[in-house]
Each structure stands twice: as C-alpha cells, then as structure tokens.
Structure 1
C-alpha cells in the first residue's frame, strides 16, 4: 500500500490520460503569454534610449560587462528582426533564446501528447553551460576584444 501511494504521488498530474489537452496546455500557454508580454515591453520601450531602463548593477559597481549586459538591447533588436545587431549586443542571449524556443516546443509537444515530463539535464551539460557562461564573461572584458562587448 505504501509503495502504491508513493507511486501515485510522484506521477505528474499532466500525464494523467483523464486530464484533457486544454488543461495540460495551460502552463505552456501561460509561459508563452508571459514571454510574449516581456518581448512586447522590450520592443515598445527602446532600451537604446537612456533612462528607459536602469543600468546593469554589475556594470555600475565594477565597470565591467556581465554575461547579461546587452540582453535587453539584443532582445529589442530581435523583435525588430535585426539578428546581426542582436548578435553584436549579446550573442549568448541570441543562443539562449533559440535553445529556449526549442525547449518550449519540446515541452509543449510532450504536454499535448500527455507524455511524462522531461527529467533534469545531465550534470555534464549543466557544468558545460556554467563554463561557457564564465568564459563569455571573462572574454568580453578582455581589453581589445570589443567585438564581445554590448556597446
């Protein structure tokens, strides 16, 4: 009896075949609406104009670029269809948006089909992502490497 109750508790509610597709797609729909809302705000309020958004706290404190510096400008450029400009502002952001879009499509497809939820990413992938972000952070602050800076 204990094993049965533990098994039932760990089964995610979205994989229950008695739950309709509309209910399973609630979280993907809310996530898409939130992402679209954020993209709309960054599209409408131009981050290139001074005073529209606050300065990066890391940049203000240290005078160096963090891995996220230029993210809003890159997103603004992407919403305007200018991929080259977005890559110049923050190439890591552009790559992250592409990866998140593929992940979102995969998640939505799994929810639509009623399949079991994905497990966490393998440790090697998470460590590799951490190393890539740290390398990007260091390299964009190397003197003379202005091609990685968001200016």
Structure 2
C-alpha cells in the first residue's frame, strides 16, 4: 500500500490536469505558472486581502489616529488660509454661481466670511455671515473629538442617521435658504 502524504497549506500546489508534456517540461494546455514579482512560486505569493483588510493593518495607535489627525491637518490648513486671506476683499475667492446667476443666497453663501470671523474670534459676525456654517464648525469639532477618542480606544466611529434625520436636515437647510432670501430674514443674509 502506497504512503500518501497530505500537503500542508503553505506547500500545497494546485492540481494540474494530466496532458502531454512539452519540451520545457510543462503540461500542454496548462496556463503559465503563477509567480510573484521575484519569481517565487504560487505558494509564496500573498493572496488578495479580505474585506476590511485595510482596517486590520492599522492596528497600532499611530495607524488608528492617522486619519482623524490627517483630517484635522487639512481642516486647519484650510481655516488658516481663510483666516489669512480675507474673503471680504473682492477678487480672492470665486463668487457663488447661484448668487451670480440668480441673486439668490444659497445655504453656503457667507460661509467663507463666517469662517474668517470665526477664526478671528468674532462669533457674532460669524453667525451673521452664515449661522448654519458656524453651527457646523461646532458640530464638526464635537464629531472630530468623538472620532479621535474612539480611534484612540481602537473602536470605529459609526454615525448612522435614519432617513427621517436626513429629511429633517434637508428641510432645515431649505427653510434657512428661503428665509434668508426674504425681506424679514435679512438678518440671516450674508
């Protein structure tokens, strides 16, 4: 009785169909052998990563904090630019296309002036330029701190809003847009 040895997973090779051998020793009809960039055989070539593999590789503290800190760096750079280049001076920033074409303030109109005033500590001017944007700055800060704490602890940040919340946010933005364009809502206009 012949002795059969079961190959281990790291030395297992895929079975090839039997066929006539060619001059170089490969089987006829068999495709090219799978090799890595350095010529290693298929058992040494790493396979495709599974679902969520990027998150699994970032298990160290620095890896977990990289994304929130990168976002903070980008936002800080943007706010620094807006803080140094005054949007109240014409010619530095493009004009809102909706305002230019229709004369109607969109929900974002005045956001750069709001950010400029916010950076310089003038919350009254920031709210008068764009109350929604100024509220968004505080909301962003709160969510970012929560994100950083959860990343520090190795837990993902998941914020799931039900469709009713999204509809509510959309309705508030629509009401804000309409009211800031009416005569009695001129206090909300930039």
Q: TM-score under structure 2 normalisation?
A: 0.70
Structure of greater relative contact order (alpha carbons < 8 Å, 6+ residues apart): 1
In the alignment, does 2:158 pair up with 1:114? no
What is the aligned partner in structure 2 of residue 40 from structure 1? Answer: 80
In the alignment, does 2:173 pair up with 1:133? yes
**Larger helix share, 1 or 2:** 1
In the TM superposition, residue 12 of structure 1 has moved relative to its aligned partner by 6.9
Q: How many residues align?
A: 142
- Which range moved further: 45-54 or 67-76? 45-54
- Where 1:144 maps in the other structure, the secondary structure is helix
Q: TM-score under structure 1 normalisation?
A: 0.87
What is the aligned partner in structure 2 of residue 22 from structure 1? Answer: 62
In the alignment, does 2:104 pair up with 1:64? yes
**Cα distance in structure 2, aligned partners of 1:45 and 1:18:** 37
Which segments of 5 or more consecutive residues in structure 2 lack a partner in the other structure? Answer: 1-48
**Cα distance in structure 1, aligned partners of 2:145 and 2:168:** 23
Which segments of 5 or more consecutive residues in structure 1 lack a partner in the other structure? Answer: 1-7
- Where 1:25 maps in the other structure, the secondary structure is helix
**Cα distance in structure 2, aligned partners of 1:49 and 1:11:** 47
CA contact (8 A) 1:12 1:116 kept: no
Rg larger for: 2
What is the aligned partner in structure 1 of residue 125 from structure 2? Answer: 85
CA contact (8 A) 1:88 1:147 kept: yes
**Cα distance in structure 2, aligned partners of 1:58 and 1:139:** 16
What is the root-mean-square deviation of aligned Cα atoms in Å? 1.8
